[in-house]
Chain A
Amino acid sequence: NAGVMQNPRHLVRRRGQEARLRCSPMKGHSHVYWYRQLPEEGLKFMVYLQKENIIDESGMPKERFSAEFPKEGPSILRIQQVVRGDSAAYFCASSPIGQTYNEQFFGPGTRLTVL
Chain B
Amino acid sequence: DQQVKQNSPSLSVQEGRISILNCDYTNSMFDYFLWYKKYPAEGPTFLISISSIKDKNEDGRFTVFLNKSAKHLSLHIVPSQPGDSAVYFCAARYGGSQGNLIFGKGTKLSVKP
B105 touches A103 (CB 8 A): no
B45 touches A106 (CB 8 A): yes
A41 touches B99 (CB 8 A): no
Q: Report the interface size class on chain A.
A: 20 to 34
CB distance from B46 to the nearest CB of A (A): 5
Per the bound structure, the CA–CA distance linking A48 and B94 in Å amounts to 14
Per the bound structure, the CA–CA distance linking A48 and B89 in Å amounts to 20
Q: Report the interface size class on chain B.
A: 20 to 34
Per the bound structure, the CA–CA distance linking A59 and B98 in Å amounts to 15
Kindly list chain B residues whose C-beta atoms are within 8 Å of the C-beta of A111.
41
Given A42-B105, A43-B89, A101-B32: A109 touches B100 (CB 8 Å cut-off): no
- In the complex, whether A115 has a CB less than 8 A from a CB of chain B is no
B103 touches A103 (CB 8 A): no
CB distance from A61 to the nearest CB of B (A): 15
Per the bound structure, the CA–CA distance linking A31 and B98 in Å amounts to 9
A104 touches B43 (CB 8 A): no
- Which DSSP category, helix, strand, loop or mixed, fits chain A's interface? strand
CB distance from A37 to the nearest CB of B (A): 9
Given A41-B105, A103-B34: A59 touches B46 (CB 8 Å cut-off): no
CB distance from A53 to the nearest CB of B (A): 13
Per the bound structure, the CA–CA distance linking A106 and B89 in Å amounts to 13
A43 touches B44 (CB 8 A): yes
Kindly list chain A residues whose C-beta atoms are within 8 Å of the C-beta of B41.
108-109, 111
Given A43-B44, A91-B44, A108-B42: A101 touches B101 (CB 8 Å cut-off): no
- Beyond the given A101-B93, A102-B98, could you list 6 further A-B residue pairs with CB under 8 A, ordered by the A residue number? A93-B43, A103-B34, A103-B49, A104-B101, A105-B46, A111-B41
Contact residues of A with B, CB < 8 Å? 4, 6, 31, 33, 35, 40-45, 48, 55-56, 58-59, 91, 93, 95, 101-109, 111
Contact residues of B with A, CB < 8 Å? 4, 6, 32, 34, 36, 41-46, 49, 51, 89, 91, 93, 98-106
Q: Which 9 A-B pairs have the closest CB atoms?
A: A45-B100, A106-B43, A42-B103, A42-B105, A43-B103, A106-B44, A108-B43, A103-B46, A107-B43
